[in-house]
Structure 1
Amino acid sequence: MSRRPRRNHTAAFKAKVALAELKGEKTLLELAQQFDVHANQVTQWKSQLLEGAAGVFGGDAKAEPAEAAVDVKTLHAKIGQLTVENDFLEGALTKAGLLSARR
């Protein structure tokens, strides 16, 4: 028996299969045969749908990553510090003859 190439299913297809499983009108094996996927895959998509369902109604959704809190003052201070260090080192290396003056 030859192996079938790996398939990538769309999110809409996964949702359709998971909702069909939730309706309970057909057995798991019937759905797997109908949609030509493995029964374990149907079960996995169903559990993913149930986990993410709360996010539809404005709950804590995993799909919306929280923005990292950025302290702009700290970043500006770091940029200033690095600029001063670069200017100092450039001057020192130029005086030592290790860096050309025309940069």
Structure 2
Amino acid sequence: MNAVTDEQIQELAATSKPYSLVQLSWAPGRHQSGADAIEREHQRRMVSLRAEGTIAVLCPVLSEGLCGVAIMTQTVEQARATMAADPCVQAGMMTVDVLPCLGFPGDSLPG
């Protein structure tokens, strides 16, 4: 591992921008009647938000609790409103928590 200097940390920190970290968790309504169709609409909506740039990073999570994480380019208030309109959230299949975070423009997942 390369040694990182205080100056490098400060330079990177100066480039940070505010984002919203969205955590989606499965809720008791996960297995309700029609859940597959509702989840498909959720998926369509999330991919659409990614395509338009509202979601910068989209990560479905393969677990029984946490089911997804996204970094949104909206303010926390805007992200809460966006996610409150999600089909799975409205149906009680998922709960959502939105937290303020900082990110570094240009970061990406390795290919």
TM-score by length of 1: 0.27
Point out the structure with max Rg over C-alpha.
1
Could you say which structure has the higher helix fraction? 1
Whichever structure has more strand as a proportion of its residues is 2
